[in-house]
């Protein structure tokens, strides 16, 4: 799938409805607030069909890079778009001098966990009974 990863601005978040729920979903409301306040930067995969996947990145207080809001529109999954977004995030954090890249994932999201393991992430700790934190060491 041809496309580029670009930073999305607050006023274009509405174009991301195919993969981020922009209606009443708390997560996207939160994303909107976070992008607006420059706490997170949101990046999307742009194709001729429009924006079809994305993620949000920020550097936590402990200095670790963090990925959230990681979604690809259902009809475009399994075409390595997610992998490209993770690779992009990794390069972004390296450029910020970040040594550890982390993310939270639900324990029952075994497909996503397999993808993260393939990309070099390993289990770090339990966040809740249902959620784990996975990390990857970056070469900076
Ligand atoms: C996780 C996700 C972003 C991956 O994007 P993608 O473009 O499909 O990723 P890739 O094509 O690079 O990799 C596909 C791999 O992801 C896995 N995967 C994870 N969740 C999946 C899902 N809901 N549907 C299909 N494949 C999924 C597949 O097992 C596949 O592995 P395989 O190649 O061994 O079959 C995407 O599947 C998605 O949006 N899932 C729903 C939201 C989600 O779970 N986000 C992660 C929250 S922590």
Average pLDDT over residues 111-135: 98
Contact 135, 117 (CB under 8 A): no
Over 90: is that where the pLDDT of 113 sits?
yes
57 alpha carbon – ligand 1 mean position (Å): 18
Contact 86, 119 (CB under 8 A): yes
Q: In which domain, by residue range, is 45 found?
A: 4-137
pLDDT (tens digit, 9 = 90+) per residue, 42-63?
999 999 999 999 999 999 999 9
23 alpha carbon – ligand 1 mean position (Å): 23
Nearest atom in ligand 1 to 109's CA: 44
Q: Which residues contact 124 (CB under 8 A, 6 or more apart)?
A: 102, 132, 133, 134, 135
- In this structure, the number of other CB atoms found within 10 A of the CB of residue 75 comes to 9
SS3 24: coil
Instruction: Give the span between the Cα atoms of 88 and 99, in whole angstroms.
Output: 15
Higher pLDDT, 18 or 93: 93
Percent of the chain residues topping a pLDDT of 70: 96
Residue nearest to atom 34 of ligand 1 (CA): 115
Domain count, the chain: 1
Average pLDDT over residues 99-115: 97
61 alpha carbon – ligand 1 mean position (Å): 28
- In short, whether 109's Cβ falls inside 6 Å of ligand 1 is yes
- In this structure, the number of other CB atoms found within 10 A of the CB of residue 8 comes to 21
38 alpha carbon – ligand 1 mean position (Å): 27
SS3 40: coil
Percent of the chain residues topping a pLDDT of 90: 79
- In short, whether 16's Cβ falls inside 6 Å of ligand 1 is no
Residue nearest to atom 35 of ligand 1 (CA): 78
Q: Which CATH number belongs to the domain containing residue 15 in this structure?
A: 3.40.630.30
């Amino acid at each position: 799938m041809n496309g580029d990863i670009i930073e999305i601005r607050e006023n274009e978040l509405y174009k991301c409805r195919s993969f981020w729920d922009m209606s009443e979903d708390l997560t996207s409301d939160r994303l909107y607030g976070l992008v607006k306040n420059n706490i997170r930067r949101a990046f999307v995969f742009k194709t001729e069909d429009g924006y079809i996947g994305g993620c949000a990145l920020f550097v936590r207080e402990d200095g670790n890079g963090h990925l959230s809001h990681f979604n690809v529109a259902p009809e475009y999954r399994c075409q390595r778009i997610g992998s490209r977004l993770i690779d992009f995030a990794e390069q972004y954090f390296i450029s910020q001098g970040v040594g550890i890249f982390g993310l939270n994932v639900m324990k029952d999201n075994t497909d996503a966990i397999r993808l993260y393991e393939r990309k070099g992430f390993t289990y770090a700790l339990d966040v809740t009974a249902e959620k784990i934190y996975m990390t990857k060491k970056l070469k900076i």
